[in-house]
Chain A
Amino acid sequence: METVGIYYRQSPVCIYQSHYTMIKKLSVNIVIFLALLLSNSTNVFSQKNDFVKVSDLKEISEKISDFSNSTNTLTSDFVQEKHLSVLDQAIISKGKFAYKKENKILWQYFAPINYTIAINNGKFYIKDEKKISKYDINSNPVFKQINKLILSSVKGDIVNSKEFDVEFFKNNNYYLAVLKPKDENVKKVIPKIKIFFNKTDFSVDVVEMIENSDDFTKITFSNKKKNQNLPDNVFNIK
Chain B
Amino acid sequence: MYLISNKYIGLLIVVLLLIFASCSHKTTNNLKQTDLKFIDTVSIFPKGKSLIYKTGIDFGKKHFSGITIIKKTDSISNVVFINELGMKMFNFSFNSATGDFSVKYILEVLNRKILIKTLENDYRILLQIFEQNTKTKIFSSDNNKHLIKKVKYRKNIYYRYDTESKKINFISEKNSFYNILKIYLSYKKQVPETIHLQHKYKLSVKLNLIQN
Interface residues of chain A, those whose CB is within 8 Å of chain B, are: 80, 82, 84, 86-89, 91, 93, 107, 109, 112-113, 115, 117, 126, 128-129, 131, 133, 140, 142, 146, 185, 188-190, 209, 211-213, 215, 217, 219
Q: Which B residues are in CB contact (< 8 Å) with A211?
A: 88, 105
Chain A residue with Cβ nearest B77: A86
Chain A residue with Cβ nearest B65: A128
Chain B residue with Cβ nearest A146: B85
A84 touching B84, Cβ below 8 Å: no
Given contacts A117-B84, A117-B85, contact A133 B210 (CB under 8 A): no
User: Which stretch, B4-12, B50-58, B113-121, touches the partner chain A?
Assistant: B50-58
Q: Give the distance to chain A from B204, nearest Cβ to Cβ, in Å.
A: 12
Q: Give the distance to chain B from A205, nearest Cβ to Cβ, in Å.
A: 17
B210 touching A113, Cβ below 8 Å: yes
Q: Is B107 an interface residue (CB 8 A)?
A: yes
Q: Which B residues are in CB contact (< 8 Å) with A84?
A: 69, 80, 82, 88
- B135-151, CB < 8 A from A: none
Chain B residue with Cβ nearest A84: B80
Q: Is B64 an interface residue (CB 8 A)?
A: yes
Chain B residue with Cβ nearest A185: B108
- B60-86, CB < 8 A from A: 62-65, 67, 69, 71, 78, 80, 82, 84-86
B210 touching A87, Cβ below 8 Å: no
Q: Which B residues are in CB contact (< 8 Å) with A93?
A: 86
Interface residues of chain B, those whose CB is within 8 Å of chain A, are: 50, 52, 54, 56, 62-65, 67, 69, 71, 78, 80, 82, 84-88, 91, 104-105, 107-109, 210-211
Q: Which A residues are in CB contact (< 8 Å) with B84?
A: 107, 109, 115, 117, 126, 128
Complex Cα–Cα for A88 and B71 (A):
10
Q: Give the distance to chain B from A188, nearest Cβ to Cβ, in Å.
A: 6
Chain B residue with Cβ nearest A132: B63
B109 touching A91, Cβ below 8 Å: no
A213 touching B104, Cβ below 8 Å: yes
Q: Give the distance to chain B from A107, nearest Cβ to Cβ, in Å.
A: 8
Complex Cα–Cα for A109 and B210 (A):
14
B109 touching A112, Cβ below 8 Å: no
Q: Give the distance to chain B from A144, nearest Cβ to Cβ, in Å.
A: 12
B63 touching A133, Cβ below 8 Å: yes
B65 touching A126, Cβ below 8 Å: yes
Complex Cα–Cα for A89 and B105 (A):
20
Given contacts A86-B69, A109-B84, contact A142 B50 (CB under 8 A): no
B211 touching A215, Cβ below 8 Å: no
- A-B residue pair count with CB separations less than 8 angstroms: 78
Q: Which B residues are in CB contact (< 8 Å) with A115?
A: 65, 84
Q: Give the distance to chain B from A109, nearest Cβ to Cβ, in Å.
A: 7
A-B contact pairs, 11 of them (CB 8 A): A91-B67, A107-B85, A109-B84, A113-B54, A113-B67, A126-B65, A126-B84, A131-B63, A209-B86, A213-B104, A217-B85
Complex Cα–Cα for A45 and B80 (A):
31
A128 touching B63, Cβ below 8 Å: yes
Complex Cα–Cα for A185 and B109 (A):
10
A86: which of B67, B71, B86, B107 is its contact (CB, 8 Å)? Answer: B71
Chain B residue with Cβ nearest A133: B63
A188 touching B85, Cβ below 8 Å: no
Given contacts A126-B65, A140-B109, A189-B107, contact A215 B56 (CB under 8 A): no
Q: Which A residues are in CB contact (< 8 Å) with B54?
A: 112-113
Complex Cα–Cα for A129 and B65 (A):
10
Q: Give the distance to chain B from A181, nearest Cβ to Cβ, in Å.
A: 13
A88 touching B50, Cβ below 8 Å: yes
A87 touching B88, Cβ below 8 Å: no
B56 touching A128, Cβ below 8 Å: yes
Complex Cα–Cα for A170 and B91 (A):
35
Q: Give the distance to chain A from B167, nearest Cβ to Cβ, in Å.
A: 24
Complex Cα–Cα for A190 and B85 (A):
12
Q: Which B residues are in CB contact (< 8 Å) with A107?
A: 84-85
Complex Cα–Cα for A64 and B32 (A):
74
Q: Which A residues are in CB contact (< 8 Å) with B67?
A: 82, 91, 113
Tell me which of B54, B62, B64, B87 has the highest count of chain A C-beta atoms within 10 A of its own C-beta: B87
Q: Give the distance to chain A from B146, nearest Cβ to Cβ, in Å.
A: 33
